[in-house]
Structure 1
Amino acid sequence: MIIEKRTYTFHPGKVQEFLALYEKEGLEIHTKYLPLVGYFVSDIGTLNQVITMWGYESMADREEKRARLYADPAWIAFGPKTTPFIQKMETMILKPTGWSPIK
Protein backbone atom coordinates (compact mmCIF):
# COMPACT_ATOMS: atom_id res chain seq x y z
CA MET A 1 0.00 0.00 0.00
CA ILE A 2 1.02 3.61 -0.56
CA ILE A 3 -0.41 6.75 0.99
CA GLU A 4 -0.70 9.97 -0.95
CA LYS A 5 -0.47 12.94 1.39
CA ARG A 6 -1.65 16.24 -0.05
CA THR A 7 -1.14 19.48 1.82
CA TYR A 8 -3.09 22.53 0.74
CA THR A 9 -2.17 25.94 2.14
CA PHE A 10 -5.09 28.35 1.98
CA HIS A 11 -5.35 32.11 2.04
CA PRO A 12 -5.87 33.24 5.65
CA GLY A 13 -9.49 32.94 6.73
CA LYS A 14 -10.51 30.69 3.83
CA VAL A 15 -10.20 27.18 5.32
CA GLN A 16 -13.71 26.99 6.80
CA GLU A 17 -15.28 28.39 3.63
CA PHE A 18 -13.41 25.82 1.55
CA LEU A 19 -14.37 22.94 3.89
CA ALA A 20 -18.06 23.88 3.68
CA LEU A 21 -17.90 23.98 -0.13
CA TYR A 22 -15.93 20.73 -0.33
CA GLU A 23 -18.27 18.87 2.03
CA LYS A 24 -21.33 20.10 0.12
CA GLU A 25 -20.09 19.63 -3.46
CA GLY A 26 -16.76 17.78 -3.65
CA LEU A 27 -16.54 15.08 -1.00
CA GLU A 28 -19.06 12.68 -2.52
CA ILE A 29 -17.50 12.91 -5.99
CA HIS A 30 -13.95 12.61 -4.63
CA THR A 31 -14.64 9.56 -2.48
CA LYS A 32 -16.57 7.89 -5.28
CA TYR A 33 -13.18 7.29 -6.92
CA LEU A 34 -10.47 7.69 -4.27
CA PRO A 35 -10.05 5.75 -0.99
CA LEU A 36 -9.97 8.38 1.76
CA VAL A 37 -7.68 7.57 4.71
CA GLY A 38 -8.05 10.92 6.50
CA TYR A 39 -8.90 14.60 6.11
CA PHE A 40 -7.29 17.04 8.55
CA VAL A 41 -6.83 20.72 9.31
CA SER A 42 -3.69 22.15 10.90
CA ASP A 43 -4.04 23.30 14.50
CA ILE A 44 -0.46 23.91 15.67
CA GLY A 45 2.46 24.85 13.44
CA THR A 46 1.74 26.15 9.96
CA LEU A 47 -1.87 27.30 9.98
CA ASN A 48 -4.45 27.57 7.19
CA GLN A 49 -3.65 24.07 5.93
CA VAL A 50 -5.80 21.12 4.97
CA ILE A 51 -4.05 17.75 4.78
CA THR A 52 -5.64 14.84 2.95
CA MET A 53 -4.47 11.24 2.88
CA TRP A 54 -5.53 8.74 0.22
CA GLY A 55 -4.65 5.02 0.20
CA TYR A 56 -3.75 2.99 -2.88
CA GLU A 57 -2.51 -0.52 -3.54
CA SER A 58 0.19 0.77 -5.92
CA MET A 59 1.18 3.72 -8.12
CA ALA A 60 -0.70 2.06 -10.98
CA ASP A 61 -3.83 1.87 -8.79
CA ARG A 62 -3.40 5.57 -7.96
CA GLU A 63 -3.03 6.53 -11.61
CA GLU A 64 -6.08 4.51 -12.67
CA LYS A 65 -8.31 5.89 -9.89
CA ARG A 66 -7.19 9.48 -10.41
CA ALA A 67 -7.72 9.18 -14.19
CA ARG A 68 -11.31 8.09 -13.57
CA LEU A 69 -11.85 11.00 -11.16
CA TYR A 70 -10.38 13.55 -13.56
CA ALA A 71 -12.66 12.27 -16.35
CA ASP A 72 -15.83 12.84 -14.31
CA PRO A 73 -17.67 15.98 -15.56
CA ALA A 74 -18.86 16.75 -12.03
CA TRP A 75 -15.26 16.80 -10.74
CA ILE A 76 -14.14 18.89 -13.71
CA ALA A 77 -16.87 21.42 -12.87
CA PHE A 78 -16.04 21.43 -9.16
CA GLY A 79 -12.28 21.98 -9.43
CA PRO A 80 -12.30 25.64 -10.53
CA LYS A 81 -14.49 26.53 -7.54
CA THR A 82 -11.62 25.65 -5.18
CA THR A 83 -8.69 27.41 -6.82
CA PRO A 84 -9.41 30.91 -5.41
CA PHE A 85 -8.94 29.52 -1.88
CA ILE A 86 -5.57 27.81 -2.43
CA GLN A 87 -2.14 29.46 -2.15
CA LYS A 88 -0.02 26.32 -2.48
CA MET A 89 -0.38 22.57 -2.89
CA GLU A 90 2.15 19.83 -2.12
CA THR A 91 1.87 16.11 -2.82
CA MET A 92 3.93 13.39 -1.17
CA ILE A 93 3.82 9.63 -1.70
CA LEU A 94 4.46 7.66 1.50
CA LYS A 95 5.50 4.02 1.51
CA PRO A 96 5.06 2.11 4.79
CA THR A 97 7.91 0.47 6.64
CA GLY A 98 7.80 -3.26 7.32
CA TRP A 99 6.41 -2.70 10.83
CA SER A 100 3.90 0.05 10.01
CA PRO A 101 0.31 -0.67 11.14
CA ILE A 102 -0.81 0.58 7.71
CA LYS A 103 0.64 -1.72 5.06
Structure 2
Amino acid sequence: MLIDHRTYTCRPGTLKKQLELYHAYGWAAQTRHLGMPVAFLTTETGDVNTYVHIWMYEDAADRAKRRAGMQADLEWISYLDRSAEAGYLLKQENKLMLSAAFAPAPRRAK
Protein backbone atom coordinates (compact mmCIF):
# COMPACT_ATOMS: atom_id res chain seq x y z
CA MET A 1 0.00 0.00 0.00
CA LEU A 2 1.12 3.52 -0.82
CA ILE A 3 -0.28 6.34 1.29
CA ASP A 4 -0.44 9.87 -0.12
CA HIS A 5 -0.57 12.35 2.79
CA ARG A 6 -1.32 15.90 1.62
CA THR A 7 -1.31 19.01 3.78
CA TYR A 8 -2.67 22.28 2.41
CA THR A 9 -2.16 25.67 4.05
CA CYS A 10 -4.64 28.47 3.37
CA ARG A 11 -4.32 32.19 3.83
CA PRO A 12 -5.68 33.14 7.28
CA GLY A 13 -9.44 33.47 7.24
CA THR A 14 -9.95 31.55 3.98
CA LEU A 15 -10.02 27.89 5.07
CA LYS A 16 -13.82 27.70 5.10
CA LYS A 17 -14.02 29.34 1.66
CA GLN A 18 -11.40 26.94 0.23
CA LEU A 19 -13.24 23.89 1.57
CA GLU A 20 -16.56 25.18 0.20
CA LEU A 21 -14.93 25.74 -3.21
CA TYR A 22 -13.39 22.24 -3.17
CA HIS A 23 -16.65 20.60 -2.08
CA ALA A 24 -18.66 22.38 -4.78
CA TYR A 25 -16.24 21.94 -7.68
CA GLY A 26 -13.48 19.43 -6.84
CA TRP A 27 -14.81 16.67 -4.58
CA ALA A 28 -16.92 14.81 -7.17
CA ALA A 29 -14.18 14.76 -9.80
CA GLN A 30 -11.44 13.79 -7.37
CA THR A 31 -13.35 10.97 -5.71
CA ARG A 32 -14.55 9.72 -9.12
CA HIS A 33 -10.90 9.00 -10.00
CA LEU A 34 -9.22 8.38 -6.64
CA GLY A 35 -12.07 6.78 -4.70
CA MET A 36 -12.91 7.92 -1.19
CA PRO A 37 -10.03 9.29 0.87
CA VAL A 38 -8.83 7.45 3.95
CA ALA A 39 -9.34 10.76 5.74
CA PHE A 40 -10.12 14.39 4.97
CA LEU A 41 -9.34 16.49 8.04
CA THR A 42 -9.26 20.07 9.26
CA THR A 43 -6.89 21.20 12.00
CA GLU A 44 -8.36 21.80 15.45
CA THR A 45 -5.16 23.02 17.14
CA GLY A 46 -1.78 24.14 15.87
CA ASP A 47 -1.83 25.75 12.41
CA VAL A 48 -5.60 26.15 12.12
CA ASN A 49 -5.26 27.33 8.51
CA THR A 50 -4.48 23.80 7.29
CA TYR A 51 -6.35 20.74 6.12
CA VAL A 52 -5.19 17.24 5.23
CA HIS A 53 -6.28 14.60 2.73
CA ILE A 54 -4.99 11.04 2.98
CA TRP A 55 -5.38 8.75 -0.05
CA MET A 56 -4.46 5.09 -0.42
CA TYR A 57 -3.19 3.32 -3.54
CA GLU A 58 -2.10 -0.23 -4.27
CA ASP A 59 1.30 1.04 -5.45
CA ALA A 60 2.96 3.86 -7.41
CA ALA A 61 1.54 2.59 -10.72
CA ASP A 62 -2.01 2.62 -9.33
CA ARG A 63 -1.47 6.16 -8.05
CA ALA A 64 -0.07 7.35 -11.39
CA LYS A 65 -2.97 5.81 -13.34
CA ARG A 66 -5.67 7.28 -11.10
CA ARG A 67 -4.07 10.72 -10.94
CA ALA A 68 -3.56 10.82 -14.72
CA GLY A 69 -7.26 10.19 -15.21
CA MET A 70 -8.10 12.94 -12.75
CA GLN A 71 -5.70 15.43 -14.36
CA ALA A 72 -7.41 14.85 -17.73
CA ASP A 73 -10.92 15.36 -16.30
CA LEU A 74 -12.41 18.69 -17.44
CA GLU A 75 -14.36 19.03 -14.18
CA TRP A 76 -11.11 18.69 -12.18
CA ILE A 77 -9.31 21.15 -14.47
CA SER A 78 -12.14 23.64 -13.95
CA TYR A 79 -11.81 23.23 -10.16
CA LEU A 80 -8.05 23.86 -10.33
CA ASP A 81 -8.66 27.03 -12.34
CA ARG A 82 -11.28 28.25 -9.83
CA SER A 83 -8.98 27.45 -6.91
CA ALA A 84 -6.05 29.29 -8.48
CA GLU A 85 -8.27 32.28 -9.24
CA ALA A 86 -9.57 32.38 -5.65
CA GLY A 87 -6.01 32.40 -4.32
CA TYR A 88 -6.86 30.87 -0.94
CA LEU A 89 -4.02 28.33 -0.93
CA LEU A 90 -0.53 29.34 0.21
CA LYS A 91 1.23 25.98 -0.01
CA GLN A 92 0.83 22.25 -0.39
CA GLU A 93 3.02 19.51 1.08
CA ASN A 94 2.77 15.92 -0.19
CA LYS A 95 4.31 12.88 1.46
CA LEU A 96 4.19 9.42 -0.12
CA MET A 97 4.37 6.96 2.74
CA LEU A 98 4.54 3.20 3.30
CA SER A 99 3.17 1.24 6.25
CA ALA A 100 5.60 -0.07 8.82
CA ALA A 101 5.93 -3.86 8.54
CA PHE A 102 4.44 -4.42 12.02
CA ALA A 103 1.39 -2.17 11.37
CA PRO A 104 0.14 -2.64 7.80
CA ALA A 105 -2.50 -0.26 6.47
CA PRO A 106 -5.90 -1.82 5.90
CA ARG A 107 -6.62 -2.83 2.31
CA ARG A 108 -8.47 -0.29 0.21
CA ALA A 109 -11.97 -1.29 -0.83
CA LYS A 110 -12.24 -1.86 -4.59
TM-superposed deviation, 1:21: 1.5
Distance 2:81 2:59 in 1: 28
TM-superposed deviation, 1:100: 1.7
Shift >3 Å, 4+ stretches = none
TM-superposed deviation, 1:99: 2.2
If the length of structure 2 is used for normalisation, what is the TM-score? Answer: 0.88
Match of 2:57 in 1: 56
Give the aligned residue type for 1:40: L
The answer for unaligned runs of 5 or more in structure 2 is none
TM-superposed deviation, 1:58: 0.2
- Number of aligned positions between the proteins: 103
Percent of aligned positions that are identical: 31
The answer for unaligned runs of 5 or more in structure 1 is none
CA RMSD of the aligned region, Å? Answer: 1.1
If the length of structure 1 is used for normalisation, what is the TM-score? Answer: 0.94
Give the aligned residue type for 1:99: F
SS of equivalent to 1:97: coil
